[in-house]
Chains A and B, each alone.
Chain A
Amino acid sequence: QVQLQESGPRLVKPSQTLSLTCTVSGDSIRSGTEYWSWIRQPAGQGLEWIGRVYTTGTTNYNPSLKSRVTISVDTSKNHFSLKLSSVTAADTAVYYCAKCVGGWYFDHWGQGTLVTVSS
């Protein structure tokens, strides 16, 4: 059974960089058959796809966040990471990592982690 777990600071100051890691168990990122994504959800709102990474390190980002987002993968540690720079209060949300089947839909999700941007 594939499991994903987000980790990282829960509180980030405005203008700083949000950094999260998603550790995968029960599947190997190195297998090269899936994509690995980040999705966020502000409180009481809908879901926003942030971007994805493939085992080779190839990435795709949401244009609305592209200038501030970096997603990377570490196959030796079986995890992938999100960095979002120059954060503001509008970036406060629950951040989910998810396994993306074929780069299409999301069949396994982490439990999510609430990141608050505040001074």
Chain B
Amino acid sequence: EIVMTQSPATLSVSPGERVTLSCRASQSVSGNLAWYQQKPGQAPSLLIYGASTRATGIPARFSGSGSGTEFTLTISSLQSEDFAVYYCQQYNNWPRTFGQGTKVEIK
């Protein structure tokens, strides 16, 4: 099983700041990585797939990069609605696995 490790666990940020979240895979997943956003009491929602392709309706301030074992999700200017938990997920191998999440909270 591929283990996905996200860092940091929690990030305290002020609105308007640039945010960078990391996701590392225990072995290469090529570009087969997705990012999700989860707000309290809600289901996760897809942000990015293919490591860098934004899902339908996702604002341009969200961008993804990386390949192999190292991936990054960047939010260029954090908005109030972006405070949430972010998960990465690999779909290169079975079983599909998720990272443990990074919580982006208000500083």
A positions within 8 Å CB-CB of B: 45-49, 60-64, 96, 98, 101, 103-107, 109-112
Contacts and interface: CB of A to CB of B under 8 A. Distances in A.
B43 A110 contact: yes
A105 B46 CA distance: 8
Interface of B: 1, 32, 34, 36, 42-46, 49, 55, 87, 89, 91, 94-101
Contact of A104 (B49, B87, B101): B49
A63 B43 contact: no
A46 B99 contact: yes
Given A105-B49, A105-B91, A47 B98 contact: yes
A62 B95 contact: yes
Nearest to A50: B95
Contacts of A47: 44, 87, 89, 98
Contacts of B34: 104-106
Given A49-B96, A106-B89, 15 more contacts: A46-B100, A60-B94, A60-B95, A62-B95, A98-B43, A101-B49, A104-B91, A105-B89, A106-B34, A107-B46, A107-B55, A109-B44, A109-B45, A111-B42, A112-B43
A107 B94 CA distance: 19
A43 to B, nearest CB: 12
A63 B46 contact: no
